[in-house]
């Protein structure tokens, strides 16, 4: 990574001395470093380079938790990059409010983003005080269960069609020496898995009441108690998956060492890169096969306010390149995510993505937790669930603490 930055700096230095007036270089920071992600981001770079500008890749390894602090401190510390990835939602809220980010309203009105971008909640997340500050690039949904067909064959059971069948198949998997559920050690993975269980088991309304309205009584109630019961099952099934990163956990599923994984649709890029086909090698169950609802979180690009006029112009070009239909298709096919506009043709999409597109078209969507909760509340939740998944804490105690977090959430 350091080498890459060094190379970027050198390249920037060299071309400044010859640089033609029209083209500008933009350093773009993001945390897309796994195999499938890197392949997808290369598509964005290619599209931006085709406009005559230059994409300087500033990949930061170690997932969003590591990357975001670096990005934020570069922006607040007066060393802004040309553009940067954040998740849809409130991660860059304060940066925009304090005037460090660039207002994209002009580009958005010129290109009519309001009508193009579906669902509209994506653009709402970019809008702060009536101004648009980001360009959404994809929709990622968390609510997927990825299953290894080979693992279930080894264990001699049918591939489950929903969460309950999966829980019932767990003993057979264990007997065959297979970890039933792969959960990586990074805190956001266990917190995310819980959110997914909540939508699947308690449903959309409860989810919205808890995370949208921050209703403490519901969070302490019987519906959520059921979810904690399921989380307890998940915890038992996840024993022995001693990996950290999500893609290592996905790899356990790809290689048949684990039965399944609750992970967002970004896991799909990994299956694709490993040359596996949906349906024959792996199975995907949106909403855990129980409640076919997906969240519309995802990634967006934010543009720090720059003094350099050429670069500011290039930022506009990049913003419109990201929304461009061709880029959307090329990028999202590689990434395994859904495009942010409804009017593009994804004929090349595989079965799992088509399922996702279908659900999206039906409007069975919820907002992601990144959009509903502040980074602070998310972090508290992560602390709770990473402890819950690694210890013997009772579901009742965990629920009590969960309700406390919801009560003080903002």
Partner 1 sequence: MTGQANAGRPNQLLRNLNSKIASIPMILTAVVIFLGGTLWTVFYSFTNSKLLPRLNFVGLDQYERLWDAPRWVISIQNLAVYGFFSLIFSLVIGFVLAAMMDQKIRFENAFRTIFLYPFALSFIVTGLVWQWILNPEFGVQSVVRSLGWTSFSFDPLYTPSIVIYGILIAALWQGTGLVMCLMLAGLRGIDEDIWKAARVDGIPMWRTYVQIIIPMMRPVFITTLVIIASGIVRVYDLVVAQTSGGPGIASEVPAKYVYDYMFQAQNLGQGFAASTMMLITVAIIIVPWAYLEFGGRKRG
Question: Is the previous residue joined to 403 through a cis bond, with omega within 30 degrees of 0?
Answer: no
Residue with Cβ nearer partner 1 (109 or 244):
244
Burial of 264 (0-12, 13-18, 19+ CB in 10 A): buried
Q: Of residues 255-314, which lie at the interface with partner 1 (CB under 8 A)? A: none
Does the footprint of partner 1 cover residue 165 (CB under 8 A)? Answer: no
Does the footprint of partner 1 cover residue 380 (CB under 8 A)? Answer: yes
Does the footprint of partner 1 cover residue 87 (CB under 8 A)? Answer: no
Q: What are the start-end ranges of the H helices in 27-162?
A: 35-49, 63-76, 93-97, 105-110, 113-116, 121-126, 149-155
Q: What is the CA radius of gyration of the chain?
A: 21
C-alpha pair distances (Å), 322 with each of 24, 117, 309, 315, 341: 17, 12, 20, 11, 11
Q: How far is the CB of 98 from partner 1 (least distance, A)?
A: 6
Residue with Cβ nearer partner 1 (22 or 255):
255
Does the footprint of partner 1 cover residue 390 (CB under 8 A)? Answer: yes
Q: How far is the CB of 377 from partner 1 (least distance, A)?
A: 8
**Of the candidates 319, 354, 359, 322, the residue with the CA atom closest to the CA atom of residue 341:** 322
- Scanning 36-44, 61-69, 264-272, 277-285 for contacts with partner 1 by CB under 8 A, the matching segment is 61-69
Between CA 259 and CA 376 the distance in angstroms is 33
By rule CB under 8 A, what count of residues binds partner 1? 31
The answer to whether 262 and 181 are in contact (CB under 8 A) is yes
Report CA 283 to chain centroid distance, whole Å.
20
Q: Of residues 98-127, which lie at the interface with partner 1 (CB under 8 A)? A: 98
Does the footprint of partner 1 cover residue 177 (CB under 8 A)? Answer: no
Residue with Cβ nearer partner 1 (163 or 388):
388
Does the footprint of partner 1 cover residue 374 (CB under 8 A)? Answer: yes
Q: Of residues 183-212, which lie at the interface with partner 1 (CB under 8 A)? A: 185-187
DSSP string spanning 184-239?
Answer: -SSHHHHHHHHHHHHHHHH-HHHHIIIIIS--HHHHTSHHHHHHHHHHHHHHHHTT
Residues 6+ apart with CB under 8 A from 127: 133
Does the footprint of partner 1 cover residue 95 (CB under 8 A)? Answer: yes
Q: Any idea what DSSP says for residue 162?
A: S
Q: How far is the CB of 374 from partner 1 (least distance, A)?
A: 7
Does the footprint of partner 1 cover residue 242 (CB under 8 A)? Answer: yes
Does the footprint of partner 1 cover residue 389 (CB under 8 A)? Answer: yes
Does the footprint of partner 1 cover residue 375 (CB under 8 A)? Answer: yes
Sole binder of partner 1 in the list 6, 50, 61, 65 (CB under 8 A): 65
Residue with Cβ nearer partner 1 (24 or 231):
231
Sole binder of partner 1 in the list 148, 321, 327, 386 (CB under 8 A): 386
User: Would you call 350 helix, strand, or coil by DSSP?
Assistant: coil
DSSP string spanning 117-128?
Answer: BSSTHHHHHHEE
| Interface residue list for partner 1 (CB under 8 A) | 65, 68-69, 72-73, 76, 91, 93-95, 98, 185-187, 242, 244, 374-376, 378-380, 383, 386-391, 401, 408
């Amino acid at each position: 990574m350091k080498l890459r930055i060094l190379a970027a700096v050198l390249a920037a230095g060299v071309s400044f001395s010859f640089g033609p007036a029209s083209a500008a270089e933009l350093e773009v920071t993001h945390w897309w470093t796994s195999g499938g992600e890197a392949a997808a981001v290369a598509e964005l770079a290619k599209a931006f380079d085709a406009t005559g500008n230059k994409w300087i890749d500033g990949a930061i390894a170690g997932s969003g938790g590591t990357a975001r602090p670096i990005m934020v401190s570069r922006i607040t510390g007066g060393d802004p990059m040309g553009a940067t990835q954040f998740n849809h939602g409130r991660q860059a809220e304060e940066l925009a409010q304090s005037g460090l980010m660039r207002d994209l309203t002009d580009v958005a009105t010129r290109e009519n983003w309001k009508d193009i971008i579906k669902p509209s909640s994506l653009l709402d997340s970019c809008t702060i005080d009536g101004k648009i500050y980001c360009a959404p690039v994809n929709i990622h949904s968390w609510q997927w269960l990825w299953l290894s067909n080979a693992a279930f064959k080894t264990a001699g059971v049918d591939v489950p069609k929903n969460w309950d069948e999966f829980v019932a198949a767990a003993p057979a998997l264990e007997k065959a020496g297979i970890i039933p559920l792969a959960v990586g050690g990074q805190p956001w993975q266990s917190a995310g898995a819980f959110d997914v269980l909540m939508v699947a088991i308690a449903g959309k309304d409860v989810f919205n009441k808890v995370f949208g309205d921050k209703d403490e009584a519901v969070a302490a109630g019987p519906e959520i108690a059921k979810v904690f019961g399921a989380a307890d099952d998940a915890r038992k099934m996840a024993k022995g998956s001693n990996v950290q990163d999500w893609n290592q956990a996905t790899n356990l599923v790809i290689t048949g060492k684990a039965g399944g994984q609750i992970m967002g649709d970004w896991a799909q890029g990994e299956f694709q890169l490993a040359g596996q086909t949906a349906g024959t090698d792996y199975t995907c169950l949106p909403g855990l096969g129980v409640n076919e609802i997906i969240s519309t979180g995802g990634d967006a690009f934010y543009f720090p306010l720059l003094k350099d006029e050429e670069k500011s112009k290039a930022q506009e070009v990049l913003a419109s390149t990201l929304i461009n239909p061709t880029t959307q298709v090329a990028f999202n096919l590689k990434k395994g995510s859904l495009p942010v506009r409804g009017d593009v043709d994804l004929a090349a999409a595989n079965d799992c993505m088509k399922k996702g597109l279908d659900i999206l078209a039906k409007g069975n969507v919820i907002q992601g937790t990144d959009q509903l909760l502040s980074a602070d509340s998310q972090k508290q939740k992560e602390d709770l669930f990473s402890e819950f998944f690694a210890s013997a804490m009772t579901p009742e105690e965990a629920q009590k603490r969960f309700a406390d977090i919801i009560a003080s959430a903002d």
